[in-house]
């Protein structure tokens, strides 16, 4: 009986959902943000996979980027289950792909800051187990110049001795934990004259047994010395490890909440 | 365009075009240049004490509608000429100031003081390049280094009212403790910091008016892009102890008491405490952006806009400190172990 009710509810939810584009029907839904790039974005990232705009996918960002080198964004999706992959992209960015997040034992939520080159939508697309992309987004207005500006570090060789240094902290949230960490890295985009692309390309958060809890794949637009905030479904100490596109590796243990 | 071309145009477009052209010519001969400035900026001086006038700026953020006229500027009429304090956001604003001053007095402008190197306070310098423009060394350095960027940025925010505006660097170095006498007015120059790295206040000992610049905001949210909050608080505490009859804040209405200083101090205290509490809870920068403001502060003009700007200016350092503090509490050896 319960199963039947659930099936009926699910069917009702599907009927209420916005238009779903499937492999057979390559229609792309109308962009609520009305970006001229949306169709290109959909073709680039979703191919023939089903994609819907979903109000549960929240992208919190300032209406105007006060600091084009550090534009904060918080992505979350309470009520959306089974998210395997979070893709963050900015339609108008010279490097469109900002970050990929794979929550394994974690919520599909991540906070960080990125470099903004001009006014653009910032979007989060969340792929659920059924293969559907759920998309949310927000416009950010900007004076810009963030992506083509040299990093602060590129003018100061001190970063070389501190590359990969990590500061991290865990907060208990009942049975779960919030992890926030900062990694020293120039995160050079390669778009500033004479400075090659140099950025963290992979971060893994694991438990003491080495089981992966979440993976982050940052791309060039992520801000210098990035700070990431993620919500883990475990309440034990974790380890952080990562590497950049030049093969430098770094790792750090993170103890449990101090209070 | 040659005379022959013009005749050709006349023939094609007829009498209406000729009339329009004649009208345009008549207007341009009639000295339309100065009335452009008056058209953008309707500056009404408010007399606050003997010989002392203030142009109260809009309690808003920069916009195409307000043409950037969001800060207070002022002037003192003396027998040795007019002393101007801050020149506003643009060349045209500066020109409009001179027009308005000319309606109050026949005295020429003798001296300008710039309180600090923010675009709404000094980009009108273009209109005053015939007189000494005094400022603290730090203000002069900042105007030289980032003045051009500030002008470009402001052009994007307020539009054509900025045309013809260049960042004219102040020409005269003044120091804390300097005094200057103009007619019967004895001015004391007070060099402080906090809102920026170099903030000048001007105290007119003759009238008891303290021109506080952006050290003081009144019923308008303080701005923090170059602020050092600890230093700002020390400056505010020291300024509250001063004697004055009138306080002219950088933004908001003139006050007879130290309310603008107290309000600014209380706001900054709340702002930093709020950020520290948020960082201690682990809130991300974007989450803090949308925190509701308590009623006392949500009432201020330009909120929550200024609060959200301040998140960008101040939260990253406070957030980082919360991570460093965590290391200190747990295990110093675990801190910063790259491998």
Query: For residue B330, what pLDDT band results from cuts at 50, 70 and 90?
Result: very low
- How many domains does chain A divide into? 1
Nearest to B282 by CA among A208, A23, A182, A114: A182
How far apart are alpha carbons B109 and B80 in whole angstroms? 9
> What token pair was written down for B279?
């960082």
Interface predicted TM-score of the whole assembly (ipTM), two decimals: 0.86
Q: List residues of chain B with CB under 8 Å from any CB of chain A.
A: 153, 156, 225, 281-282, 284-287, 289-290, 308-309, 311-313, 316, 319-320, 322-324, 326-327, 329-331, 334-339
The values of phi and psi at residue A63, to 5°, are -65, -30
CA B120, A115, A73, A96 torsion: positive or negative? Answer: positive
Model pLDDT for residues A46-58, shown as the tens digit of each residue: 988 999 999 999 9
How far apart are alpha carbons A206 and A95 in whole angstroms? 29
* A253, closest residue in chain B (CA to CA): B334
In sequence order, what DSSP letters do the residues of B151-170 get, joined into one string?
HHHHHHHHGGGGTT---PPP
> What token pair was written down for A67?
């600091």
| Nearest neighbour of B286 by CB, restricted to A60, A163, A167 | A60
Report if residue A191 sits inside a domain. Answer: yes
| Helix/strand/coil for B189 | strand
CB A68 within 8 Å of CB A150: no
Q: Do A169 and B323 lie within an 8 Å CB cutoff?
A: yes
pLDDT at position B2, please?
38
CB B170 within 8 Å of CB B122: yes
Could you tell me how many CB contacts below 8 A there are between chain A and chain B? 102
Query: How many percent of chain B have pLDDT more than 90?
Result: 82
Query: How many percent of chain A have pLDDT more than 90?
Result: 73
pLDDT at position A60, please?
97
More confident residue, A154 or B77: B77
Query: For residue A148, what pLDDT band results from cuts at 50, 70 and 90?
Result: confident
Model pLDDT for residues B221-251, shown as the tens digit of each residue: 999 999 999 999 999 999 999 999 999 999 9
Q: Do A227 and B335 lie within an 8 Å CB cutoff?
A: no
Reply yes or no on domain B43-258 having CATH 3.60.15.10: yes
Report if residue A207 sits inside a domain. Answer: yes
Model pLDDT for residues A192-251, shown as the tens digit of each residue: 999 999 999 999 999 999 999 999 999 999 999 999 999 999 999 999 999 999 999 999
pLDDT at position B327, please?
66
How far apart are alpha carbons B170 and B168 in whole angstroms? 6
* A144, closest residue in chain B (CA to CA): B153
CB B222 within 8 Å of CB B138: no
H or E element that contains A5: helix A2-16
The answer on pLDDT for A68 being more than 50 is: yes
CB B153 within 8 Å of CB B61: no
> How many angstroms separate the CA of residue B154 from the nearest CA in chain A?
10
> What token pair was written down for A163?
């590359």
Q: Do A72 and B284 lie within an 8 Å CB cutoff?
A: yes
What residues in B contact A171, CB-CB < 8 Å? 281-282
Instruction: State the average pLDDT for chain B.
Output: 89
Q: What share of chain A is helix, strand, coil (3-state, %, to 5)?
A: 10, 40, 45
Model pLDDT for residues B43-92, shown as the tens digit of each residue: 999 999 999 999 999 999 999 999 999 999 999 999 999 999 999 999 99
| Helix/strand/coil for B95 | helix
pLDDT at position A258, please?
52
The values of phi and psi at residue B133, to 5°, are -115, 105
What is the domain-level CATH number for residue A225? 2.60.40.2470
Report if residue A34 sits inside a domain. Answer: no
The answer on pLDDT for B26 being more than 50 is: no
Model pLDDT for residues B136-186, shown as the tens digit of each residue: 999 999 999 999 999 998 998 899 999 999 999 999 999 999 999 999 999
Q: Which of A24-38, A43-57, A93-107 has the lowest mean pLDDT?
A: A24-38
Residue extents of the structural domains in chain B: 9-40, 43-258
Q: Where are the beta strands (DSSP E) in A133-226?
A: 133-140, 166-173, 176-183, 200-207, 212-218
pLDDT at position B265, please?
98
Q: Where are the beta strands (DSSP E) in chain B?
A: 46-49, 52-55, 73-78, 81-85, 109-113, 133-135, 172-173, 179-182, 185-192, 199-204, 209-217, 246-251
> A20: left (phi > 0), else alpha (psi -120 to 50), else beta?
beta
The values of phi and psi at residue A115, to 5°, are -90, 130
Nearest to B247 by CA among B218, B220, B206, B224: B218
More confident residue, B285 or A173: B285
| Helix/strand/coil for B135 | strand
| Helix/strand/coil for B149 | helix
More confident residue, B258 or A258: B258
Show the domain range for A114.
Answer: 52-254
pLDDT at position A50, please?
96
Q: Which of A229, A237, A244 to mutate to test the interface with B (most CBs of B within 10 A)?
A: A229
Strand partners, A173: A176
pLDDT at position B328, please?
58
> How many angstroms separate the CA of residue A232 from the nearest CA in chain B?
13
Nearest to B326 by CA among B318, B317, B315, B335: B335
> What token pair was written down for A153?
């570090």
Model pLDDT for residues A158-202, shown as the tens digit of each residue: 777 888 889 999 999 888 999 999 999 999 999 999 999 999 999
């Amino acid at each position: 009986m319960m199963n039947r009710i659930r099936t009926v509810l699910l069917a009702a939810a599907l009927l209420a959902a916005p238009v779903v584009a499937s492999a057979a029907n390559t229609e792309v839904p109308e962009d609520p943000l009305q970006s001229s790039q949306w169709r290109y974005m959909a073709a680039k990232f979703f191919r023939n996979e089903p994609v819907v705009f979903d109000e549960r996918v929240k992208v919190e960002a300032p209406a105007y980027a006060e600091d084009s080198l550090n534009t904060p964004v918080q992505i979350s999706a309470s009520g959306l289950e089974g998210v395997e992959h979070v893709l963050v992209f900015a339609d108008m960015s010279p490097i469109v792909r900002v970050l990929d997040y794979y929550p394994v034992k974690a919520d599909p939520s991540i906070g960080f800051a990125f470099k903004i080159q001009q006014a653009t939508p910032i979007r989060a697309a969340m792929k659920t187990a059924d293969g559907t992309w759920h998309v949310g987004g927000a416009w950010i207005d900007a004076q810009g110049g963030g992506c083509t500006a040299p990093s602060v570090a590129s003018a100061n060789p001190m970063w070389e001795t501190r590359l990969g240094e990590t500061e991290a902290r865990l907060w208990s949230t009942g049975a779960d934990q919030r992890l926030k960490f900062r990694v020293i890295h120039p995160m050079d985009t390669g778009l500033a004259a004479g400075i090659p692309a140099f950025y963290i390309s992979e971060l893994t958060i694991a438990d003491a047994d080495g089981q992966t809890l979440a993976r982050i794949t940052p791309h060039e637009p992520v801000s210098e010395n990035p700070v990431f905030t993620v919500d883990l479904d475990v309440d034990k100490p974790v380890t952080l490890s990562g590497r950049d596109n030049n093969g430098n590796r770094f790792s750090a243990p993170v103890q449990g909440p101090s209070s | 365009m040659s005379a022959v071309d013009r005749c050709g145009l006349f023939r094609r477009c007829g009498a209406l075009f000729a009339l329009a052209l004649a009208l345009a010519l008549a207007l341009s001969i009639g000295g339309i240049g100065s009335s452009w400035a008056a058209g953008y900026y309707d500056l009404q001086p408010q007399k606050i004490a003997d010989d002392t006038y203030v142009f109260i700026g809009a309690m808003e953020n920069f916009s195409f509608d307000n043409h950037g006229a969001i800060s207070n500027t002022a002037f003192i009429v003396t027998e040795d000429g007019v002393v101007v304090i801050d020149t506003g956001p643009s060349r045209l604003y500066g020109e409009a100031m001179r027009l308005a001053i000319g309606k109050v007095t026949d005295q020429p402008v003798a001296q300008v003081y710039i309180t600090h190197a923010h675009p709404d306070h000094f980009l009108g310098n273009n209109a005053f390049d015939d007189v000494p423009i005094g400022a603290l060394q730090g203000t002069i350095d900042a105007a030289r280094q980032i003045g051009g960027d500030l002008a470009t940025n402001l052009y994007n925010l307020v539009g054509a009212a900025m045309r013809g505006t260049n960042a004219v660097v102040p020409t005269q170095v003044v120091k804390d403790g300097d005094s200057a006498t103009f007619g019967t007015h004895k001015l004391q120059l007070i060099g402080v910091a906090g809102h920026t790295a170099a903030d000048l206040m001007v105290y007119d000992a003759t009238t008891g008016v303290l021109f506080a610049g952006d050290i003081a905001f009144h019923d308008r949210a303080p701005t923090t892009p170059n602020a050092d909050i600890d230093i700002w608080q020390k400056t505010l505490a020291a300024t509250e102890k001063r004697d004055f009859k009138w306080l002219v804040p950088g933004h908001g209405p003139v006050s007879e008491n130290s309310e603008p200083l107290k309000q600014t101090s209380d706001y900054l205290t709340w702002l930093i405490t709020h950020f520290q509490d948020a960082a201690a809870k682990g809130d991300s920068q974007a989450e803090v952006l949308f925190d509701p403001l308590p009623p006392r502060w949500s009432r201020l003009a330009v909120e929550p806009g200024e609060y959200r700007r301040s998140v960008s200016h101040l939260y990253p350092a406070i957030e980082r400190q919360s991570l460093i503090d965590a290391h200190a509490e747990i295990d110093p050896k675990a801190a910063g172990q790259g491998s």
